[in-house]
Amino acid sequence: MTKILRVTSSIKGPNSVTTKLTDHIVEKLGGDVTTRDTTTIPLIDGTWIGAAYTPAEDRSDEQKETLALSDTLINEIRAADVLVIGAPVYNFGVTAPLKAWLDQICRVGESFRYTEAGPEGLLGPKRVIVAYASGGVPQGSAYDLASAYLKQVLAFIGITDVSFVTAEGVSVDEAAALARAEAQIADLAA
């Protein structure tokens, strides 16, 4: 059975367009679903960085505790075959909760490593479907800082099979934006 990690990141909760779209995507795909709500994930800080860059065998109990959530989030990705990420666009970019999740999962020695040839991602291959919703920022446009950023960060950790379901122009005509996104979901291969 396909294992799906569903990542939600809207502060609107169940009323969010991307939350509704991720519901429909995981329903279309079928499988065993784990949902990660990123709205409660803390920001990384200097203590976190210090713990992450301390070799595992040298970490104090406090440092291990500091990285416990990061370990859990990375293991959720490892266990998944498919990631379905809800990515509403706020002020041209990803939400702060989604950024917090991305920061927690980008960890040297765990999700990537440095080599003489440059960084190497350790979490691929995985399939990712991003539910992208914006009030008026077309996905892939010069104003869209979210989708290119997501693709870059996911590639950094080794995940390059990324596609988008888009609900653009929600503030202009929400019903039409949702209808276009639903048509894209209907065309997804399970």
Location of structure tokens 């990631």: 83
* 9 annotated to bind ligand: no
Q: Which residues are annotated as a binding site?
A: 10
Q: Which residues are annotated as a binding site for FMN?
A: 10
